[in-house]
């Protein structure tokens, strides 16, 4: 019997409406592409199936970079946060990271509202089950759309896969297996097979989530209260502190103990992680509680954060205790924790296995090397985390749109953004576990601070077309104010007079022997831009800088020497990045390359010497050989 199935035509199809899919769809639509975004359930749009927060160490950098490019995540968490905190404030500005607890339901609701009210964007609930492709005039596979499980066909010139943890997903605790996606939502059981038939390499990864607890049954008197910051810093550069201030909700800190650990050890044979029942590879940097106890036997306690999942729910998230242990063991171990002796579980902890791809099969623009017009972003690329997913999503959406517009892809390099570090690592380093962003992965982290993401990337966002003229003009004014003030402070001097010497003595600072610029004084650790105001006679007659502008002025002056040295390192890095490797190179023709290096270079096909130098198994000697070959080729 003939199927009277629906056929529709779009410019771009996005598969999956998690954090990657939302950013990809919004970028594509805002750049004028007729875009359709598929979700397996409307309840899963921008869902937070694990931790109820956005940002954190290094992840906060990613969110602010997404915002600087014109993305949505920062704006959405500013609308829906219930607690905000700047992490690592006792350390240098390079590792300061903003983190906000979200109202999970409200976060989803607000993002869905944004999607539904965006021009050129259709949001559709359906399971995509098949990739459609053809062989183009160059003899290469080229995507031409998707088919849904109902038989409907959606033709498109570009497709972005943002499937998260849904592909052939199964949730496991003890010997209980639910063939579902996260939070009991339906898994996507058909697309993996179609991808394999298209020639895409499929892998199996695993992640997990802790139990959710009933707030009414928690004794908070035995825990340490964790309040939010008094001075709120927005994620989005479009907001001020006053725009988003609201009453915050506390989190709580408690700890496991030796009794907790003994229960885990006594039941470790019942953990599917240790029995071999779970096949997927888990994240090393976000281990389960059973992993922590078995791998760090010398530690007699582990931190647990009890965090609210929203303003209008009693569900509490137990950060630090993800697990796949059986239900009875979960109850037993949780009841040993101070404050949780009589707690009731609302949702069991579980591990989730899912299909993903090997990201070395992608170019740096997140397009598949062997399939024209097919892009991929988020946890399907082997990463973990909402922020990592959203960062890839906005780049994939931008590049899908630009491909159809006949424009060059936007590829951020490692010296420009944490987003550049993230994507470069994924497409060159063949990660064997879910990839998590960390500040230590960024070589130039003093330049890539979360506070200056707009100064680094707003020009690019405006050039792409995701930053409007009004926002760009405000940004230019901010940048001009910062630059002018830095120059003024360098040129304004104070003498070694009595007033200055008394001021320095009051602040525990060494007296002056000769005149010094205000900038030189700010460089002293014990002094700041605000502190020297009483010595700055000109300032009263100048327009007042914003808090953010003052911060940039102070950082630029205090860390000028370090910043200058890092910029020199970037110049050296740029030389290798600019030495492009021809797409048609035959590595078998390159004499003296080691066998392992030749194999890796053939598989990954790096675009530049810089990218080649970061491939595991390619040594500095191999790069020298390759450099000589390219110079005489």
3-state secondary structure of 192: helix
Q: What is the pLDDT of residue 3?
A: 65
The helix (run of H) or strand (run of E) holding residue 68 is helix 59-69
Residue with tokens 């810093």: 233
**CATH assignment, 212-350:** 2.40.30.260
Contact by Cβ (8 Å): 184, 327 = no
Q: What is the pLDDT of residue 275?
A: 66
C-alpha 311, offset from chain centre:
25
Tally DSSP H helices, then E strands, for the chain.
21, 25
Contact by Cβ (8 Å): 39, 15 = no
How far apart, in whole angstroms, are the C-alpha atoms of residue 432 and residue 577?
25
Class of domain 7-208+354-464: alpha beta
How far apart, in whole angstroms, are the C-alpha atoms of residue 464 and residue 398?
8
pLDDT beneath 50, residues of the chain: none
Q: Where are the domains of the chain?
A: 7-208+354-464, 212-350, 490-564, 579-632
Pairing of strands 350-357, 202-209: antiparallel
How far apart, in whole angstroms, are the C-alpha atoms of residue 256 and residue 388?
29
How far apart, in whole angstroms, are the C-alpha atoms of residue 47 and residue 49?
6
The residues facing 35 across adjacent strands are 12, 121
Architecture of the structural domain at 490-564:
Orthogonal Bundle (1.10)
Q: What is the pLDDT of residue 572?
A: 85
Q: What is the pLDDT of residue 578?
A: 87
Please tell us whether the domain made up of 579-632 is placed in CATH 1.10.150.570: yes
Contact by Cβ (8 Å): 205, 212 = no
Residue with tokens 């830095």: 486
Q: What is the CA radius of gyration of the chain?
A: 26
3-state secondary structure of 467: coil
Alpha-carbon distance values, 572 to 149, 342, 423, 563, 618 (Å): 51, 60, 21, 15, 19
Please state the φ and ψ torsions of residue 285, each to the nearest 5 degrees.
-95, 5
Alpha-carbon distance values, 229 to 146, 345, 381, 568 (Å): 46, 30, 35, 36
Query: Is the dihedral angle over the CA atoms 466, 468, 471, 475 positive or is it negative?
Result: positive
Pairing of strands 158-161, 374-376: parallel
Q: Which DSSP state fits 25?
A: H
Longest alpha-carbon distance in the chain = 98
How far apart, in whole angstroms, are the C-alpha atoms of residue 73 and residue 34?
21
Q: What is the pLDDT of residue 419?
A: 98
């Amino acid at each position: 019997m003939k199927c009277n199935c629906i056929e529709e035509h779009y410019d771009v199809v996005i598969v999956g409406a998690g954090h990657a899919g939302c950013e990809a769809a919004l970028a594509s639509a805002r750049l004028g592409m007729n875009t359709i975004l598929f979700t397996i359930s409307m309840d899963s749009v921008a869902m937070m199936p694990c931790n109820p927060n956005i940002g954190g160490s290094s992840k906060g950098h990613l969110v602010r970079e997404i915002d600087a490019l014109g993305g949505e995540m920062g704006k959405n968490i500013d609308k829906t946060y219930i607690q905000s905190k700047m992490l690592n404030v006792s350390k240098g500005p390079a590792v300061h990271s903003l983190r906000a607890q979200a109202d999970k339901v409200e976060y989803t609701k607000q993002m869905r509202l944004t999607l539904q009210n965006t021009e050129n964007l259709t949001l559709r609930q359906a399971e995509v089950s098949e990739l459609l492709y053809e062989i183009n005039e160059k003899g290469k596979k080229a995507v031409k759309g998707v088919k849904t499980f109902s038989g409907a066909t959606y033709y498109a010139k570009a497709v972005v896969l943002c499937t998260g943890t849904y592909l052939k997903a199964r949730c496991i605790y003890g010997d209980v297996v639910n063939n579902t996606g996260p939070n009991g939502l339906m898994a996507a059981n058909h697309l993996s097979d179609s991808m394999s038939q298209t020639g895409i390499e499929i892998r199996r990864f695993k992640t997990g989530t802790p139990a959710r607890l009933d707030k009414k049954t928690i004794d908070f008197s035995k825990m340490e209260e964790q309040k939010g910051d008094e001075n709120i810093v927005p994620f989005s550069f479009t907001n001020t502190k006053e725009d988003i201030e609201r009453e915050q909700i506390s989190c709580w800190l408690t700890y496991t103990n030796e009794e907790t650990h003994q229960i885990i050890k006594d039941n470790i044979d019942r953990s599917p992680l240790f029995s071999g029942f779970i096949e997927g590879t888990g994240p090393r940097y976000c281990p389960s509680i059973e992993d922590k106890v078995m791998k760090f036997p010398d530690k007699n306690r582990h931190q647990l954060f009890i965090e609210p999942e929203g303003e209008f729910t009693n569900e509490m998230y137990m950060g630090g205790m993800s697990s796949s242990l059986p239900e009875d063991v979960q109850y037993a171990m949780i009841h040993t924790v101070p404050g949780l002796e009589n707690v009731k579980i609302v949702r069991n902890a579980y591990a989730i296995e899912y299909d993903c791809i090997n990201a070395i099969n992608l170019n740096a623009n997140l397009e598949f090397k062997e399939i024209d017009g097919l892009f991929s972003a988020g946890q399907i690329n082997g990463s973990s985390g909402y922020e990592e997913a959203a960062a890839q999503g906005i780049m994939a959406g931008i590049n899908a749109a630009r491909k159809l517009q006949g424009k060059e892809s936007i590829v951020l390099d490692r010296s420009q953004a944490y987003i550049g570090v993230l994507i470069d690592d994924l497409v060159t380093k063949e990660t064997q576990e879910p990839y998590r962003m960390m500040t230590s992965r960024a070589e130039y982290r003093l330049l890539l601070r979360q506070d200056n993401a707009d100064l680094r990337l707003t020009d690019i966002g405006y050039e792409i077309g995701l930053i409007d003229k009004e926002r760009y003009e405000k940004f230019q004014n901010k940048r001009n104010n910062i630059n002018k003030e830095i120059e003024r402070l360098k040129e304004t001097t104070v003498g070694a007079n009595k007033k200055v010497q008394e001021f320095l003595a009051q602040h525990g600072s060494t007296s002056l022997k000769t005149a010094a610029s205000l900038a030189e004084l700010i460089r002293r650790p014990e002094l700041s831009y605000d502190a020297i105001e009483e010595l700055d006679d000109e300032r009263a007659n100048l327009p007042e800088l914003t808090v953010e502008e003052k911060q940039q002025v102070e950082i630029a002056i205090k860390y000028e020497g370090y910043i200058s040295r890092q910029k020199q390192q970037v110049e050296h890095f740029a030389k290798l990045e600019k030495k492009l490797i021809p797409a048609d190179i035959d590595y078998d023709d390159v004499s003296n390359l080691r066998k392992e290096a030749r194999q890796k270079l053939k598989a990954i096909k790096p675009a530049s010497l810089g990218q080649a130098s970061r491939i595991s198994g390619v040594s500095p000697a191999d790069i020298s050989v390759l450099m000589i070959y390219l110079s005489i080729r």
